[in-house]
Chain A
Amino acid sequence: MDPSDADLCLAAQRGDRRAFEALVRRYQRPVFGLAVRLLGHGEEARDAAQEVFVKAWFSIDRYDPARAFAPWLLTIARNDYRDRLRRRGTRRGEVADSDPQETLGRVADERPSVEADLASAQDQGALERALGDLPEHYREVILLHHVQERPVKEIAEILGRPQGTVMTWLYRARAALKDALVQKGVTQ
């Protein structure tokens, strides 16, 4: 049986790098996924996602193993990516080579299951582009709730916002997505 997050974290707090590497492998996908959707460019997203784990390692002593590991890690990730966006000093879509819509469109197009169904791939590509058009905080809640399947309570913890605010953002983000897809003729 795989060791729990808490066991791995406790071992990591004692300096066990192999335990931490297991945590990296367990959470690399959501951390990288968030980076790609917020930062866009593949190389910067990779660098940022790796940096998140490096920061987590050097601050692992401050993590409370009695609490869930994922929100703690994703909070580090989200703050780091936001800092990068601030430092970059650009708003979403202004830099051509770091366009998250383009990156995700490519990711959607490259998925084998999607290749098998061209119409579905086009729909997914349209959805990814519509996701990329959302304001950052809407994109975050959609990604965390629908893609990473995190409960609203956990998302509120990650974003540092009340649950009611997260719910409001979620409703509005879904409504914006639905309208965008209806406009593009993807849904009714």
Chain B
Amino acid sequence: MTTPTNHLDDPRLQTLAEGGEDPGALEHVAQCAECAEALEAYRELFGALDRVEDPEPDAAFAEGVMARIAAESAVEIRPVRGAVLGLIASALAGTALFALWLLGGGSLSSLASDAVQGLVGVNKLRVFLGDLLSVIPSGAGAAVVFAQVLFLGSLLYALFRLVKSQALPAMEASS
């Protein structure tokens, strides 16, 4: 075996050690003791790496993950519930305010009057509320309508979040 001056580089040696085909490199290794030694070292290294395994986590690992998910989901749901209740209360208050404005002195009051004309009790209530709310300036109507649109939008979003947040535990319970 001779000792050529130009040795094989690491990528070529590693490719050979992995079983890659490189006739030129094999020919070189056959004549070069240094490269043959390096190739053998790489073969041993790859053999040893094949025996390295990932350590196994303990048996309760997966249960621990699921418990953490359940705990963090519960933490996530609580503030959503509070926000939902707040939004529902706001929406109800807004709806009541809007109804009062509509039955009282708002620009749509005549339509509302026609709708409840046949209902004596409701009509009496409407007249009463009209008197009561006559103090609300008509310019405030637009603001009330705007607020109501906002409230209704919030209500729909809150209901969506509520349904979604309740759906996971319900699905889990049923499965």
Does B41 interact with chain A (Cβ within 8 Å)?
yes
CB-defined contacts of B44 to chain A, threshold 8 Å: 181, 186-188
Q: Of A14, A33, A54, A177, which is within 8 A of B68 by CB?
A: A54
Decide if A128 is an interface residue (CB 8 Å cutoff): yes
Binary flags per residue of A105-119, CB closer than 8 Å to B gives 1, else 0: 001100100100000
CB pair B61–A50 under 8 Å, yes or no, is yes
* Beta-carbon contact of A124 and B54 below 8 Å: no
A178 adjacent to B38 (CB under 8 Å):
yes
Residues 135-179 (chain A) with a chain B CB within 8 angstroms: 142, 146-148, 171-172, 174-175, 177-178
Contact across chains for B10 and A24 when beta carbons are under 8 A apart: no
Stretch from B20-28, B121-129, B149-157, B167-175 contacting the other chain: B167-175
0/1 interface trace, chain A 19-63, chain B, CB 8 Å (1 if under) = 011001100111011101000000000100111011001100000
Residues on A with beta carbons closer than 8 Å to the beta carbon of B52:
108, 124, 127-128, 131, 146-147
- Distance between B98 CB and nearest chain A CB, rounded to angstroms: 36
A51 vs B66: C-alpha distance when bound (angstroms)? 11
In chain B, positions 11-60 with a C-beta closer than 8 Å to chain A are 11, 14, 37-38, 40-42, 44-46, 48-58
Number of interface residues of B (CB under 8 A): 36
CB of B54 within 8 A of CB of A147, answer yes
Contact B175 A16 (CB under 8 A): yes
In this assembly, does A133 line the interface, its C-beta being within 8 Å of a C-beta of chain B? no
In the bound complex, what is the Cα–Cα distance between A186 and B175 (angstroms)? 54
Contacts of B163 in A (CB 8 A): none
The residue from B14, B53, B62, B168 contacting A15, defined by CB atoms under 8 A apart: B168
A111-B50 contact in complex given A16-B175, A181-B41, A188-B44, C-beta closer than 8 Å: no
Overall SS of chain A's interface: helix
CA distance A149 to B133 in the complex (A): 77
Question: B66 CB to closest chain A CB, in angstroms?
Answer: 5
Cross-chain contact B51 with A124 (CB below 8 angstroms): yes
**If A21-B66, A49-B61 touch, does A187 touch B45 (CB 8 Å cutoff)?**
yes
Given A127-B52, A128-B52, is A171 in contact with B37 using a C-beta cutoff of 8 Å?
no
* CB-based contact B62/A28 at 8 Å: yes
Contacting pair A29 B57 (CB below 8 A) = yes
Which parts of B131-173 form the interface with A (CB within 8 Å)?
A: 167-168, 171-172
What 4 A-B pairs come out closest when comparing CB atoms?
A33-B54, A146-B49, A187-B44, A32-B57
Residues of B bordering A, CB below 8 Å? 10-11, 14, 37-38, 40-42, 44-46, 48-58, 61-62, 64-66, 68-70, 72, 167-168, 171-172, 175
| 8 A/B residue pairs, CB under 8 Å, sorted by A | A17-B172, A33-B53, A36-B55, A46-B58, A58-B69, A146-B46, A181-B45, A187-B44
